[in-house]
Amino acid sequence: MSQLTANQRYSGVSMLLHWLIAVAVIVNWRLIEAAEHAEVRADAFAFVMNHKSLGITILALTLLRLGWRLINRPPPLRAGMAAWEKALARTLHIVFYVLLVGLPMLGWLSESFEGEGIEVWGMFTLPGLPVGVNEQLAETMGELHGTGGEIMIYLIGLHVLGMLKHMLIDKDGNLWRMLPFGTPKA
């Protein structure tokens, strides 16, 4: 059991972006749930506006994280992991990135097909994409966005289960690779 070296732990920037995005995704899910269950129309509208703003923020943070990842290679997966675990981990991370970019883009595309832009935190309006108005495509993109969001929630559950397996069964401290404290094993 060797101690974790600096090149086996994620960088501070990677950790910060990971946790900011994780919290933002959960909050965004709760915002749209709150909008769907709001009894007052104005409340629902406010929840949706915040959902859209946070979605664009998630897109920006994800693009920043992808850029950072290209410049700063992530640490290698633990050598003792089974081949299926490594394949599942890599696949899950790829799907997460596809969804973290794709979901906001689908939302933006849906708004664009409605002829709308996205107001971002009341500071500026992101103009609609140059696609032309098409209500049917707006609805289709909105449905894909919703389905992708559901898939994201299930994948987060799978990700958490994987973390629990590593912490409680494997006892390899894998979680500590994504935190600035703790004692992971190499």
Domain ranges of the chain: 6-178
**Number of Cα atoms under 13 Å in the Cβ half of residue 14:** 20
Q: Which tokens in the block code for residue 167?
A: 């912490």
Lowest-pLDDT range, 1-10, 34-43, 56-65, 75-84?
A: 1-10
- What angle, rounded to 10 degrees, do the helices at 83-113 and 41-71 form? 130
CB 75 within 8 A of CB 10: yes
Q: Which tokens in the block code for residue 19?
A: 């946790």
pTM for this prediction: 0.91
| Residue 139 CB neighbour total at 10 angstroms | 13
Average pLDDT of the residues in 145-168: 95
Quote the CA–CA distance of 171 and 168 in Å, as a whole number: 5
The pLDDT tens digits for 111-155 are: 999 999 999 999 999 999 999 999 999 999 999 999 999 999 999
Check if CATH label 1.20.950 holds for domain 6-178: yes
Q: Which residues of 70-93 are buried (b: 16+ CB within 10 A; e: fewer)?
A: eeeeebeebeebeeebeeebeeee
Residues 6 or more apart in contact with residue 14 via CB below 8 angstroms: 65, 68, 69, 72, 74, 178
Q: Tell me the CA distances in angstroms from 49 to 46, 68, 116, 151, one per residue in order.
A: 5, 29, 13, 22
